[in-house]
Structure 1
Amino acid sequence: MIDYVLRTSQLTKQYKDQYALDKVDLAIPKGSIYGFIGQNGAGKSTLMRIVSGLSFPTSGSIELFGKNAEKEIVQSRKRMGAIIESPALFPHMTAYENMEVHRLQKGVPGKANIGKILELVGLRETGRKKAGNFSMGMKQRLGLAIALLGDPEFLILDEPTNGLDPMGVVEMRELLKRINRETGLTILISSHILSELHQLATHYGIIHRGKLLEQLTVKELNERCQHYLHIKVNDPDRAAAVIERKLDTTEFEVMSGGVIRLFRYLEHPGKVSSELAAAGLEIEQFMPMGEDLESYFAGRIGGAGHE
């Protein structure tokens, strides 16, 4: 049985005649990294704010750590950490001082964990340097450190790579993967950099105009975005026989127009082309193909836009 950290039921947020969320049923398994995908204004931040207690739904409900009574949810939020929009930092304070202020605000006992968390996010050696002089990447990592105060079991990150350079994006991705792997921390993360989410998330939710279009695992996504070798030859039937006999695989499809989709040998395309050429076949097209997360998302959003 799957253990869920967060579930929503028919969650709705309405502003006059506009729906920021429209009957959203979302489920985040324990230990997962849940990539929340949607255009600006799709409803990602609204849902995160409601779960964090910063906003209230018009209707529907949430269940947090298996609890759905209001008092229980308030208590359960103590097991969460979050960065919604920009992290709240005091620019005239050091990283350690920022952490201490937030520790006191949150009521987290003891200072011992501060150094450990700063080390985890790579800020232990910043010393007396003020947060106002930090780079964007350092500020984002300090925001993450603050969210990790109190050893949360569930972390909500709204666009944590905003403003980061490519190296900063990679560092943040690898840090989140390591934290998830080493501690089992469940993470809900939204990002407009879909190529990064594809290298990070274990589960996905696609939201558009307040409606949750789809939830799927990384395995399901990879199956739907399956990569293959696109091969166009002058004699597809003979090419199919060569692939089956010489390459010992039936994992291919013969399409119209003399095209074959070969789902094996993606790492060894030279062997495929060599065998086809040796059989006297004329290769007109030969290239790896397949959708990435961005293409899949665009297809889902495009379809939803015409419903």
Structure 2
Amino acid sequence: MSEYILKTDRLSKKFKKQHALSKVNLSIEKGSIYGFIGQNGAGKSTLIRIISGLARPTTGSIELFGESNGQELIHARKRIGTMIEGPALYPHMTAAENIEAHRLLKGIPGEDCAEKTLALVGLNDTGKKKAKNFSLGMKQRLGIAIALLGDPEFLILDEPTNGLDPMGVVEVRELLKRLNKEFGITILISSHILSELHLLATHYGIIHRGNLLEQLTMDELIAKCQQFLQIKVNNPEKAASIMETILKTNDFVVMPDGVIKLFKFVDEPGRISSILVNNGLVIEQFMPMGQDLESYFMNLIGGVQHG
């Protein structure tokens, strides 16, 4: 049975007449990297602020580490670390001075935690360099270091790769993977860039206009986006036999209308068509199908927009 770090129950947030969130039921498993994806204004930051205690829901509830009421929920929030709407840095301080200032503000004991935390994010050699002179990637990593103060079990990051160059994106991605695998930290990372999240996340939640459209695992998302060759021939039974005996694969399905979906050899369409023709079949339709992750997301929200 899965253990959940976070659950929300019909969580809604209304600003005047507009719903920023509408009856959201979200769940995050312990040990996962949850990619929370949606366009700007979809409701990602609003939900993150509610989880973190920076805003209150209009209706609904949240459960954090199994706690959902009063002081227990406040205490549970001490087990999370957050970086919301960019890192809160003191530009004229060094990395170590920033860490120390935030440690004191949070009332976290241990004067030696700055060196340990900076080493964790790869900033232990920045010396006297001021934060204002850091690259954007270094600033993001320092923001993550601040979020890691107090050794949180659950890390919440709002658009941590936003505006980064490709190298900065890779640095942050590898850091988050390490925090998850080596330290067992559960991570919620919001983004509108699905191509980046699919290299990182183990689970996904897709939100649009305040509505949680779908939650799925990485394997489920890959399956929905799987590429295949769509083949229609005059004798689908014979084609199926050829695939089993000549191509030696069972990785296909024959649909009720006789159309065959072949999930292997997607990059060898010429070879497959030649084999079918050479074995006496007439090809009526032959085309690559499927979609990439970005297309899946756009089709999903497009259906909401135009449905």
Relative to the length of structure 2, the TM-score reads: 0.90
Aligned partner of 2:160 in structure 1 is 160
SS in 1 for 2:169: helix
Whole-Å separation in 1 of the counterparts to 2:45 and 2:232: 45
**Cα distance 1:287–1:52, how it changes in 2: closer, same or farther (>3 A)?**
same
1:173 is displaced (CA, Å) by 1.2
Matches within 5 A, 1:206-221: 206-221=206-221
Compute the displacement of 1:103 (Å).
0.8
* Partner Cα separation in structure 2 for residue 169 and residue 124 of structure 1: 19
Secondary structure of 1:122 counterpart: coil
Corresponding residue SS for 1:124:
coil
Partner in structure 2 of residue 182 of structure 1: 182
Q: 1:214 to 1:70 in 2, by over 3 A?
A: same
Structure 2 residue matching 1:10: 3-state secondary structure? strand
Matched ranges for 1:121-140 at <5 A: 121-140=121-140
Instruction: Name the % identity.
Output: 67
* Contact 2:37-2:193 at 8 Å conserved across structures: no
Q: Would the alpha carbon gap of residues 115 and 305 (structure 1) be closer, same or farther in structure 2, given more than 3 Å must change? A: same
- Give the 3 Å change call, closer, same or farther, for CA 172–58 of structure 1 in structure 2: same
Alignment correspondent of 1:99: 99
Task: Report how far residue 204 of structure 1 moved.
Answer: 0.9
Segment of structure 1 superposing worse, 287-296 or 97-106 = 287-296
Q: CA RMSD in A?
A: 2.6
The yes-or-no answer on 1:56 pairing with 2:56 is yes
TM-score, structure 1 as length reference:
0.90
Question: Any idea what the Cα deviations from partners look like across 1:17-51, whole Å, max 9, x if unmatched?
Answer: 10001111111111111111111111100000011
The corresponding residue for 2:248 is 248
Separation in 2 of the partners of 1:50 and 1:2? Answer: 24
In structure 2, C-alpha distance between the alignment counterparts of 1:140 and 1:189, rounded to whole Å: 13
Q: Give 2:26's aligned residue.
A: 26
The separation in 1 between residues aligned to 2:113 and 2:276, in whole angstroms, is 61
Sort the Cα spacing of 1:267 and 1:107 in 2 relative to 1 into closer, same or farther, 3 A.
farther
Show CA shifts across 1:47-77 (max 9, x none).
0001111111111111110001121111111
Residue 141 of structure 1 deviates from its aligned partner by: 0.6
Are positions 1:300 and 2:277 aligned together? no
Distance 2:267 2:172 in 1: 29
Provide the rounded CA distance (Å) in 2 between the counterparts of 1:233 and 1:17: 55
How far, CA to CA, are the matches of 1:101 and 1:131 in structure 2? Answer: 13
Q: Secondary structure at the match of 1:143?
A: helix
How many residues in Structure 1 have an aligned counterpart in Structure 2?
A: 307
Give the Å deviation of 1:249: 2.0
Deviation at 1:115, TM superposition (A): 1.5
Distance 2:270 2:122 in 1: 43
User: What is the rounded CA distance, in whole Å, between the counterparts of 1:286 and 1:119 in structure 2?
Assistant: 54
Aligned residue for 2:125, secondary structure, equals: helix
CA 1:57 to 1:126, structure 2 compared with 1: closer, same or farther past 3 Å? same
Partner-residue secondary structure (3-state), 2:306: coil
Deviation at 1:289?
4.3
1:98 partner amino acid: N
- Counterpart of 2:72 in structure 1 is 72
Any stretches of 5+ residues in structure 2 without a counterpart?
none
Q: What is the DSSP-based 3-state SS (H/G/I as helix, E as strand, rest coil) of the residue aligned with 1:46?
A: helix
- Judge which range, 154-163 or 119-128, deviates more: 119-128
After the TM superposition, which of the residue ranges 109-118 and 70-79 deviates more from structure 2? 109-118
**Would you identify which runs of 4 or more consecutive aligned residues in structure 1 move more than 4 Å?**
230-239, 254-260, 265-289
